[in-house]
Structure 1
Amino acid sequence: MKKFFITGTGTGIGKTYITSAILKNILSRKKIIGIKPIAAGFSQNSINEDVQTLLDCQASINDHHKINFYSLKKAVSPHIGTEEEGMQIDFNLIKQKINDLENEYDRILVEGVGGLLSPVDQSRTNLDLIRHLDIPVIVIIGLKLGCINDALLTQHVLESNGIKAAGWVGNLIDPEMDEVDKNIEYLKQNIKSKCLGIARHNDSNFKLNI
């Protein structure tokens, strides 16, 4: 059994895209599930867009509640949404549901909400959830101007808190970024965990394995 928490250097840097890529690449060989325990913002069908994207990669799952345990109505930071809706996020419940999935799957991908230090309620962040689940992380780095600072700060926070990084993935979110390859090379030389892959902009052939 392998479990990984998918976190990132910020919001909107492609956690769901990369999680989906991993799912598509491994489904034919391993029993794998991708979940997003906490999601913010959903459409009229009451399903968050990221959750729907993950469902679309997993045809055998027909109930979104299996992969999403807390869904906030507004697309805002969860610490705002939970307060407005009077919702309490139970880390023990999330951990128990993940443990239950271990009986069905060889791999479990747990996608966070926002970046590593994004709040999930008024007093806790994704970092606190990772600590509670006690599983290694895969860091998605949004490749854009400033990504080196974002990536090294994220690495520093993980190391300072004794959290194991299983690796990182670079996702080119700015197709106009200058000197992409030189930035990637710097990241490879200065991030201690291994590079699991680089996703170029709109690269339909991108594959990644864990």
Structure 2
Amino acid sequence: MPAYFVTGTDTDAGKTLASAGLLACARRAGLTTLGLKPIASGSEATPEGLRNADALALQAQSVPATDYATTNPFAFAPAIAPHLAARRAGAELRLADLTNWLRPLLAHPRDLTLVEGAGGWRVPLNDEEDLAGLALEMDLPVLLVVGLRLGCLSHARLTAEAVHADGLRLAGWIGSVVDPAFAEDDALYRDNLVTLVRTLPFPCLGVIPRLPAGAPRRMAAAAADYLKLPDAH
């Protein structure tokens, strides 16, 4: 099973919940796992340094265990676009630095490795590069997390078109209910899912309902109940 790049239709589309759920699903099958978050904005200061909740959730699902710096090499405090957060910190994000970090990790692959992006497909790294370039440089198949809310049909189709135009394979999509009101009209909710299945020409790996807030491990396990692993081929 190869490594995958996980992108979303937007910020807060449910990428981390879906990624942690897939990793938990793999662990149930006795597979080794690695969850990676190259860049994380919205991190909190701790005695050990900046820590991001999404990166910690992925780290918790990595078996064998790995350290935080491996999971998340670039962490920034403000919850804003990564290139702006880096600028405020006096840093510069460069695609070459990300590929140099990721390449040795993929040289010794685990059964399932997920590289979670930040925001959507076209989130900038700097004035000339974007984070999608990491998936392109490493030739990673893409998993698309669709945040299920008003507007998701267009967002999902546009993202899929952009990934396809960049020449990468879309290996599957996952729906994640991020707006509870979206699912209140059951018939309309199901009609939207039917439209997504019809218009996204790659497999649906599951749909995660709105889950009660809880500890990351518990939420990952709950999400795994609704997911299946992507086909490596």
Instruction: Tell me whether the two structures share a fold, i.e. TM-score over 0.5.
Output: yes
User: Is 1:30 the equivalent of 2:31?
Assistant: yes
Distance 1:155 1:60 in 2: 32
Structure 1 residue 62: deviation in Å? 5.2
1:15-54 to structure 2, matched below 5 A, reads: 15-28=15-28, 29-45=30-46, 46-54=50-58
One-letter identity of the residue aligned with 2:31: K
Gaps of 5+ in 2: 213-221
Identity of matched residues, %: 28
Aligned to 1:107: 112
- Counterpart CA distance in 2 for 1:170 and 1:206 is 10
Q: 1:202 aligned to 175, 195, 211, which one?
A: 211
Residue of structure 1 equivalent to 2:93: 89
Query: In 2, distance between residues paired with 1:168 and 1:122?
Result: 29
Q: Letter of the aligned partner of 2:124 in structure 1?
A: P
The 1:62/1:132 distance shift into structure 2, 3 A limit, reads closer
Decide which of 138, 146, 162 is 1:157's aligned counterpart. Answer: 162
Question: Does 77-86 or 144-153 show the bigger shift?
Answer: 77-86
Deviates more, 1:109-118 or 1:96-105: 96-105
Which residue of 2 is the match for residue 68 of structure 1?
A: 72
C-alpha displacement of 1:32: 1.2
Q: Deviations over 1:145-170 (max 9, x none)?
A: 11101011111111222121011111
Please state whether the residue corresponding to 1:65 is helix, strand or coil.
helix
AA in 1 matched with 2:96: N
TM-score (structure 1 length as normaliser): 0.92
Counterpart-to-counterpart distance in 2, 1:62 and 1:155? 32
Shift of 1:209: 1.4
Higher deviation after alignment, 140-149 or 130-139: 130-139
Encode CA deviations 1:164-209: one digit per residue, 9 max, x unaligned. Answer: 1011111111121141111001110111111111111118332331
The worse-fitting range, judged by mean Cα deviation, of 186-195 and 52-61 is: 52-61
Letter of the 1:68 partner, please give it: N
How far apart, in 2, do the equivalents of 1:26 and 1:61 lie?
A: 15
The worse-fitting range, judged by mean Cα deviation, of 89-98 and 22-31 is 89-98
TM superposition shift of 1:40 = 0.8
Q: Distance in 2 between matches of 1:59 and 1:27?
A: 8
Q: Which moved more, 1:87-96 or 1:152-161?
A: 87-96
Structure 2 residue matching 1:122: 3-state secondary structure: coil
Q: Are 1:41 and 1:73, in contact at CA under 8 Å, matched by a contact in 2? A: yes
Q: Which deviates more from structure 2 when the two are superposed, residues 93-102 or residues 153-162?
A: 93-102
C-alpha separation in 1, matches of 2:80 and 2:116 = 17
C-alpha separation in 1, matches of 2:160 and 2:227: 24
| Maintained 8 Å contact 2:32/2:62 | no
Q: Aligned residue for 2:216?
A: none
Structure in which a larger fraction of residues adopt helix: 2
Superposed displacement of residue 33, structure 1 = 0.4
Q: How many residues align?
A: 210
Consecutive aligned runs of 4 or more in structure 1 exceeding 3 Å deviation: none
Give the conservation status (yes or no) of the 8 Å contact 1:167–1:193: yes
How far apart, CA to CA, are the structure 1 residues paired with 2:14 and 2:4? 16
Aligned to 1:141: 146
**Root-mean-square deviation (CA), in Å?**
1.8
